[in-house]
């Protein structure tokens, strides 16, 4: 069963290139649901005692290389796998009406990207983590390059250079650890003890890769243009899933490998992430392009998650996992809402929009629910996540917590500004079709999930908390965690 996590995405990525064009849409969705079934089966067989369920082997694959075939998952990994397995079919279904959904290359690249993401979340060998990290870059770059806006090339070149440089820094740091370890197996890497200064420099290699991908201020400059110029499916994959790799990497790899570096990285990273929370929100308020509003909003939201992770507190980490899931769901929903508007009007300029609530009441309703979920009102999944994260930040430092807490106010401003300008006011189009069945299904599934997790967040917290406790108990850091 475990190996199907690799086999199915590869099978569907290759086989979709051979099926008749008229069935590509349906075949892709069926394939994505098959992967979802496997992930759910893995969750059901997992004992959820906080330990890592290993498969493969922890011994060297080729003698002298240090490479192992060690893969596995715990509660943290499984939640990331489930988020990936849920969002991929939602992305494919939301694009069902688009010509893009019937493109074999597009669907194949989506499955190859899913393969890379799955590999990132279950690799227990540092080199395989790096390999799958790189694999995710190729298909998303090709999706955006082949199917993006005409003026996409400069933005995507910048995106590629940023992420590639960050990846090289992580590889260099990984090799720096391996020099002192028998293999790349995560437990062997964790066993290496560094002097504080050395640990800080090596940890910076990982942080650069993660900070670019999240992105953390000031490594964010690739993001707005890339999100804007990419096809909507590409933007959904980038925002909903791909940036979560870096947040996961901070929890699984960066801090556990370099506990000696926590004291020197904690304050700088939290400060940069908090600046990003406020900066991203303020810039989002000033945007006229609806897609750029939510691009900067995404930067603000994930900055808060990154800051909370660096607190390295149980409640803050638990809240971070809840918010990772919430952001993945809501980001896909918001970018779908933008796509719906652009499909019907040909523009994303807020000055040219308005009055759509009268013409498309179903869309206006679901978009409104999305807006409330985005600002984390009670009974939505973001509420408990932001509460726990802000609680951790306030306990860490009152001023940092207060500044980060401005996201609650600023988030409401840019979200409801975008909603009001597009849904109300003078009618700007004679016709605006209401939701297609595929759009309705995706928005309904997202919002049902957001409300269920808002009412009962223990579905996530009870699943990840044992793994977080094991992680904190087995990690000896200068702060005593």
pLDDT bucket at 190, cuts 50 / 70 / 90? confident
pLDDT recorded at residue 71? 92
pLDDT bucket at 424, cuts 50 / 70 / 90? confident
The rounded percent of the chain whose pLDDT value lies above 70 is: 99
pLDDT recorded at residue 278? 93
Q: Which helix (H) or strand (E) holds 55?
A: strand 53-60
- 251-278 tens-digit pLDDT: 999 999 988 888 888 999 999 999 999 9
Phi and psi at 245, nearest 5°, equal -60, -40
Residue 165 CA: distances (Å) to CA of 162, 170, 171, 229, 335: 5, 9, 10, 21, 28
pLDDT at 2 over 80: yes
Sign of CA dihedral 141, 142, 145, 148: negative
- What six digits make up the tokens of 109? 């690249």
- CA neighbor of 336 nearest in space, from 229, 450, 439, 448: 439
pLDDT recorded at residue 449? 92
Using left for φ > 0, alpha for ψ between -120 and 50, and beta otherwise, residue 379 falls in left
DSSP string, 311-340: H--HHHHHHHHHHHHHHHHHHHHHHHHHHH
pLDDT recorded at residue 477? 43
pLDDT at 202 over 80: yes
pLDDT recorded at residue 207? 93
pLDDT at 48 over 70: yes
pLDDT at 356 over 70: yes
Find the mean pLDDT for residues 359-387. 88
Distance CA 218, CA 223 (A): 11
- 142-155 tens-digit pLDDT: 888 888 778 788 88
pLDDT bucket at 140, cuts 50 / 70 / 90? confident
pTM, whole model, 2 decimals?
Answer: 0.90
Return the DSSP state at 216.
P
pLDDT recorded at residue 358? 84
- 235-256 tens-digit pLDDT: 888 888 888 889 999 999 999 9
Q: Which SS3 state, helix, strand or coil, does residue 349 take?
A: strand
pLDDT bucket at 478, cuts 50 / 70 / 90? very low
Find the mean pLDDT for residues 449-458. 91
pLDDT recorded at residue 12? 93
- 62-120 tens-digit pLDDT: 777 888 888 999 999 999 999 999 999 999 998 888 777 788 898 999 999 999 999 99
pLDDT at 317 over 70: yes
The rounded percent of the chain whose pLDDT value lies above 90 is: 36
pLDDT bucket at 481, cuts 50 / 70 / 90? very low
């Amino acid at each position: 069963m475990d190996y199907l996590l690799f086999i199915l995405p590869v099978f569907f990525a290759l086989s979709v290139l051979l099926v008749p064009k008229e069935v590509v849409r349906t075949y892709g969705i069926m394939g994505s649901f098959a992967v979802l079934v496997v992930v759910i089966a893995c969750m059901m067989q997992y004992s959820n005692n906080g330990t890592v369920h290993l498969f493969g082997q922890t011994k060297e694959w080729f003698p002298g290389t240090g490479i192992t075939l060690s893969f596995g998952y715990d509660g943290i990994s499984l939640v990331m796998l489930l988020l990936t397995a849920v969002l991929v079919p939602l992305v494919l279904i939301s694009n069902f009406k688009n010509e893009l959904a019937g493109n074999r290359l597009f669907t194949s690249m989506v499955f190859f990207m899913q393969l890379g993401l799955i590999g990132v979340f279950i690799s227990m060998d540092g080199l395989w983590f790096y390999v799958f990290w790189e694999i995710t870059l190729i298909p998303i770059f090709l999706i955006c390059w082949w199917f993006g806006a005409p003026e996409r090339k400069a933005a995507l070149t910048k995106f590629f250079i940023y992420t590639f440089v960050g990846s090289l820094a992580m590889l260099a740091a990984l090799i720096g650890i391996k020099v002192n370890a028998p293999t790349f197996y995560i437990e062997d890497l964790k066993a290496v003890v560094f002097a504080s200064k050395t640990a800080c420099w090596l940890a910076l290699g990982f942080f650069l890769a993660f900070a670019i991908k999240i992105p953390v201020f000031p490594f964010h400059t690739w993001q707005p243009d890339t999100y804007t110029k990419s096809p909507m499916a590409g933007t959904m994959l980038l925002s909903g899933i791909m940036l979560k790799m870096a947040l996961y990497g901070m929890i699984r790899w960066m801090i556990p490998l370099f506990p000696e570096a926590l004291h020197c990285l904690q304050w700088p990273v939290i400060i940069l992430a908090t600046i990003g929370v406020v900066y991203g929100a303020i810039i989002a308020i000033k945007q006229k392009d609806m897609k750029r509003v939510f691009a900067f909003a995404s930067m603000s939201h994930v900055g808060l998650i990154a800051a909370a992770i660096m607190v390295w507190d149980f409640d803050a980490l638990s809240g971070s996992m809840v918010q990772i899931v919430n952001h993945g769901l809501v980001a896909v929903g918001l970018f779908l809402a933008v796509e719906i508007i652009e499909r019907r009007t040909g523009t994303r300029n807020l000055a040219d929009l308005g009055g759509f609530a009268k013409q498309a009441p179903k869309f206006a309703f679901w978009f409104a629910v999305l807006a409330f979920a985005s600002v984390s009102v009670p009974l939505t999944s973001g509420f408990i996540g932001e509460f726990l994260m802000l609680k951790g930040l306030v306990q860490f430092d009152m001023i940092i917590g207060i500044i980060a807490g401005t996201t609650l106010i600023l988030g409401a401003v840019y979200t409801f500004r975008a909603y009001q300008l597009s849904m109300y006011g003078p009618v700007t189009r004679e016709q605006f079709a209401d939701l297609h069945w595929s759009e309705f299904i995706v928005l309904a599934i997202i919002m049902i999930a957001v409300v269920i997790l808002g009412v009962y967040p223990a579905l996530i917290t009870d699943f990840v908390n044992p793994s977080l406790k094991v992680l904190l108990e087995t990690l000896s850091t200068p702060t005593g965690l």
